[in-house]
Structure 1
């Protein structure tokens, strides 16, 4: 399915759609076997959770104190094509109100807006601060799913390399053209 992005909204009731033990609070711990199976299924299908914020758990049994169970049963997952086409898609987990499930508000920003294409310049690797700039940018914290963190780290590196370019190489094409003109002028004089 090259070139087509999609996402699904999953809601669980009978099946465990938990990815991590921290996605459930309550007296009975989640099944590690079911979590491993769900994670493997997502991995096999090349699917990732979309970045979400707001309430951490999307379902509660609405009971009091010790009998209360909260889980992240509802989630939005997507394929890499969706993440590339709509990298700024976010999921806001709203308050559940009277329901036992929290509504998920999906915000999709169209990425059709023309962007200046990022081009890597080989000369950057020769810069004395290159390794430090890349390591520092890669080390910046990014929260979210594995795929979201990966894209976030790449974005940090891109921004840092652009800053390095502006401080050390900005206008290099213009400088090369001016140097060629100066060289031609010198050759004509000789």
Structure 2
């Protein structure tokens, strides 16, 4: 959306590759457009798999998240058979994070949610100038929070 129309012959090599390698796109949810420069919106990022994958992981779903600070949308691949790693955290570090950075973490979470909500709205109304400005402001605020956290860590 917003760019030049892609012609069938421009996708011929990709389609031949997908057919030859017997690849197909994984079922997905979330944002439709996976890349934007705020003028052009495109679905260029995709998760592909083959028949062997489906035999070993019968349920796979790609979640397209909001793009946050990137121009690309992160993708989270989910399978029913996935296992969580056993994380063995250092208790001193956990205590430091809990005691000294809890408010900063809350600010980061709030900033991320705000940016994510605006970016979700932009997925449905890409040319809305108010949303584009709100997204820029939210992005700047989110970056500022991270800059503050880096300054605190370096002290």
Structure (1 or 2) with the larger CA radius of gyration: 1
